[in-house]
Amino acid sequence: MSMNAGSVSVSSSEVVTGTGLARELYDADAATLVLPSLPTLGQNTAPYTAKRPCSQADINEVKTARVQLLQEAARRANAYASATVSHIKTNALAKVDQGALQRTPNPNNADTHTVAPIVPAYLPIE
């Protein structure tokens, strides 16, 4: 199976969908965000007052700000996941120690090593 960065996105209603490393990075980043609380229509506690209660326009502004913050976290997560997976696929090698590559299926001598590399083998990660 090839290594995949995955991806993540946030809808305008703050629904998050995603997979792989991108989703994990998003979850970690989003957990650190301080999102503005969604006010209620007619709310008259700070920052609103009895003379200037919360309007639908105020609610819409806060919703937009929240979505923008979450979508920016998704954008960062996608970029970081893509760069990380690309770096690993380009530079990383998996070390297979001597004698650890295969085992024989022979029922007379089950689960014994086959002839292995004389020195450790390094396999690319995809």
DSSP-derived letter for residue 18 is E
3-state secondary structure at position 72: helix
Q: Residue 59 half-sphere exposure, CB side, CA atoms within 13 Å?
A: 10
Report the alpha-carbon distance of residue 36 to residue 58 in Å, rounded: 12
> Using alpha carbons only, what angle is made at residue 74 by residues 68 and 76, rounded to the nearest 5 degrees?
105
Residue 86, pLDDT score: 94
Which has the higher per-residue pLDDT, 125 or 117? 125
Report the alpha-carbon distance of residue 79 to residue 85 in Å, rounded: 10
Q: Which two tokens stand for residue 121?
A: 């083998």
Q: Which residues contact 69 (CB under 8 A, 6 or more apart)?
A: 33, 35
Mean per-residue pLDDT for 108-126? 69
* pLDDT tens digits, one per residue of 2-58: 788 999 999 999 999 999 999 999 999 999 999 999 999 999 999 999 999 999 999
* pLDDT tens digits, one per residue of 67-91: 999 999 999 999 999 999 999 999 9
**Under a CB-based contact definition with an 8 Å cutoff, are residues 125 and 88 in contact?**
yes
Return the number of other C-beta atoms located less than 10 Å from residue 65's C-beta.
12
Residue 70, pLDDT score: 98
Residue 120, pLDDT score: 73
* pLDDT tens digits, one per residue of 85-116: 999 999 988 877 765 556 566 666 666 666 66
